[in-house]
Structure 1
Amino acid sequence: MSAAEGAVRRWLFAPAPLERVALLRLCVFAFVIVDVVVLHTSGYYHGWADPAWYVPLQAGQLLHLPAASVLLVEVLKWGSVGCALVAMTGRLPRISGWAVAICWSWYQYVAFAYGKVDHDRADFVVALLLLPTVGIAHLRDGRRSEAAGFALRGVQLAAIATYFLSSIAKIRFGGWDWVNSATLVRAVVRRGSPFGHLFLHTPWLLHAMQWCIVAAELLSWTIFVIPERYRRLMVLGWYLFHASVYATITIAFWPHLVMMLAFLPLEEYRDRLLHRWRARRARRDGLDPETAQPEPVGAG
């Protein structure tokens, strides 16, 4: 193995805490339930659609997937929910995890075979397929594992590829007119919020934002080479960007936001929140926040 190959392998399989994977899986499977039950992915009503409108995607052609039926849609919908509930308990992590991946992915496919393919949901499939490969991972398992590192790295790569390839698609299909035309103005007019309509009075700002979006997407890969501190700030920047998009044109890339959690030390954030909650509870009960013992008389 050459030095370059060894470096790539160490980067792909850099050991990561198992508890981080456990926390990310909890978020991923919880989102599956929210997506199916609350967000109402469009696949749920395609069971009643005329099969004549079914146009199988490449995956459907390869796997010979049939047109949707009411029974199939209901099985996939509630199968996603049931398997996700099991997976959230940590039991049978591989079987339950891959069952979620199959049910949810097929459920999304039903919607995509009758219309637009949402790229944020396409990359979410990567997380569903990779996270079960880690096997057993408890919420308080501080051990580090190469399998955990590879799963997290794969999710990270898929998330960033979504940004980078999105900019490539903009340039490939829209050309430089995407950044030099009224792309965001049209989006605000078509589905903008009252807040977004305020920007119609300053179209030059929307024009500038189009350049900023493409530039940020083209440079998204730099998240892998910057120091950890700035990596976390970059993730925060992407979250703020998505919040602004939702505030102006009411578009949210919910699955993608969950995947970006793979860049963060979730176990550290959890411990900080628990420490603050316990300290606040201790102060409320008149205890020493550090030891949870009664404070001495006259203290403070």
Structure 2
Amino acid sequence: MGQVVKWLFEPVPRGRIAAFRTLVYLFVAADMVVFTPWVRAHADTPGSLYQPLRIGRLLPLPTPTALIVHTVFWVLLVVTLLAATGRAPRLLGWTVFLLYFEWMIIAMSYGKVDHDRFGFLVALAVLPTVGRARHGDPELSEAGGWALRVTQIAVICTYFLASWAKLRIGGPHWMTSSVLAQAIIRRGTPLADLIASVPGLLIVSQFGIIMFELLSPLVFAVPRRLRGWVVAFFYMFHLATFATITISFMPHLIAMTSFLPLEKVRPIVWARRRFSSTPPLGEPLAAVPAEPATSPGGG
């Protein structure tokens, strides 16, 4: 039991939490404006079409109206941009989580439910528990380690439970079905058409998907020095998915950065170093000291 607790609370640099927090909150804004702008259209959707998810029925949450949808959108957009700065991490963090949670209820209560939001929602729920964290801070934090570990577990559960759902609903026949062929017909790319033309390759791919998802928890068992390569393989899997059937899983990919040493990625510091190495235009170069004169014949 002690080893499990130690693993769950393995400390990480606070700078990693600060970088992860900024990335997550900036993505909330990007998601609302760029990736899923269609959610705002529910402001004009008749309330009779609203079929809330179970959590929406248990709370219960109100049927979305134009006032509710637009209010949640603008308040969440402002608050998440403020939260990305690191100010008031608990107050703004909890506010972002609650508003984005409601935003997802509005998005997914009209017949379409995406499973790529699970790990991201967990990240939003646990980040406010960490408190203050500054970019580049090397101080270790057990609370930060717990927040990242819980997010990692949610990311891997997304894979494992997806395979469980495939086998529970479709049975073993899912692996020999035409599910990928149907996806390519609906939203395939030229690359997908090339793959589909190879006999048996789609069936092999479906077996590979099931094996990949079922074995994904092994990422926690591989040595630390190899874990980065496993996570890179996860990203390559999603790159291939997007290149063939244009499904991006962006919220999931953002949550998966919880596996990465994000504290090493500091674009502002890099920019300062880059531009500080060259004197500003019009500023004279520093004088180069003259070498001391040597006497004739001197060494």
When normalised by structure 2's length, the TM-score is 0.89
- The answer (yes or no) to whether the contact 1:17–1:142 under 8 Å persists in 2 is yes
1:11 aligns with 2:32: no
* Aligned residue number for residue 104 of structure 2: 108
Q: 1:21 aligns with which of 14, 17, 33?
A: 17
Secondary structure (helix, strand or coil) at the match of 1:131 reads helix
- When structure 1 is superposed on structure 2, of 225-234 and 154-163 the one drifting more is 225-234
Runs (4+) of structure 1 exceeding 6 A deviation are 293-297
* Aligned residue number for residue 234 of structure 2: 238
Going from structure 1 to structure 2, the CA distance change for 1:251 and 1:130 (only over 3 Å counts) comes to same
**Which amino acid is the alignment partner of residue 223 of structure 1?**
V
Q: For 1:64 and 1:186, how far apart are their aligned partners in 2? A: 37
- The answer (yes or no) to whether the contact 2:76–2:99 under 8 Å persists in 1 is yes
* Aligned residue number for residue 176 of structure 1: 172
1:70 aligns with 2:37: no
* Aligned residue number for residue 120 of structure 1: 116
* Aligned residue number for residue 90 of structure 1: 86
Q: Superposed, which structure 2 residues align to 1:175-214 within 5 Å?
A: 175-214=171-210
Q: For 1:256 and 1:243, how far apart are their aligned partners in 2? A: 13
Post-superposition offset of 1:123: 2.9
User: Which is bigger in relative contact order (C-alpha 8 A, separation at least 6)?
Assistant: 2
Q: 1:56 aligns with which of 13, 27, 52?
A: 52
In the TM superposition, what whole-angstrom CA distance separates every residue of 1:50-109 from its partner, at most 9, and x where no partner exists? 111111221111111111101111111122211111101111101111111111111111
- The answer (yes or no) to whether the contact 1:22–1:138 under 8 Å persists in 2 is yes
Going from structure 1 to structure 2, the CA distance change for 1:205 and 1:294 (only over 3 Å counts) comes to farther
When normalised by structure 1's length, the TM-score is 0.89
Secondary structure (helix, strand or coil) at the match of 1:202 reads coil
- The answer (yes or no) to whether the contact 2:119–2:152 under 8 Å persists in 1 is no
1:227 aligns with 2:228: no
* Aligned residue number for residue 258 of structure 1: 254
- The answer (yes or no) to whether the contact 2:26–2:80 under 8 Å persists in 1 is yes
1:217 aligns with 2:224: no
Secondary structure (helix, strand or coil) at the match of 2:113 reads coil
Q: For 1:86 and 1:118, how far apart are their aligned partners in 2? A: 27
Q: For 1:78 and 1:192, how far apart are their aligned partners in 2? A: 35
**Which amino acid is the alignment partner of residue 199 of structure 1?**
I
* Aligned residue number for residue 293 of structure 2: none
**Which amino acid is the alignment partner of residue 172 of structure 1?**
R
**Which amino acid is the alignment partner of residue 65 of structure 1?**
L
Q: For 2:27 and 2:132, how far apart are their aligned partners in 1? A: 20
* Aligned residue number for residue 137 of structure 2: 141
Q: For 2:124 and 2:287, how far apart are their aligned partners in 1? A: 47
Stretches of structure 2 that go unaligned for 5 or more consecutive residues are 280-285, 291-299
* Aligned residue number for residue 43 of structure 1: 39
Q: For 2:263 and 2:180, how far apart are their aligned partners in 1? A: 38
**Which amino acid is the alignment partner of residue 50 of structure 2?**
Y
Q: For 2:35 and 2:138, how far apart are their aligned partners in 1? A: 34
Post-superposition offset of 1:296: 10
Q: For 2:266 and 2:193, how far apart are their aligned partners in 1? A: 38
Larger radius of gyration: 2
Percent identity of equivalent pairs: 43
Q: For 2:246 and 2:257, how far apart are their aligned partners in 1? A: 22
Stretches of structure 1 that go unaligned for 5 or more consecutive residues are 286-292
- The answer (yes or no) to whether the contact 1:79–1:100 under 8 Å persists in 2 is no
Going from structure 1 to structure 2, the CA distance change for 1:230 and 1:274 (only over 3 Å counts) comes to farther
Q: For 2:218 and 2:289, how far apart are their aligned partners in 1? A: 53
Secondary structure (helix, strand or coil) at the match of 1:106 reads helix
Q: For 1:294 and 1:170, how far apart are their aligned partners in 2? A: 71
Post-superposition offset of 1:35: 0.4
In the TM superposition, what whole-angstrom CA distance separates every residue of 1:235-257 from its partner, at most 9, and x where no partner exists? 11111110111010011100000
* Aligned residue number for residue 290 of structure 1: none
Secondary structure (helix, strand or coil) at the match of 1:219 reads helix
Post-superposition offset of 1:41: 4.2
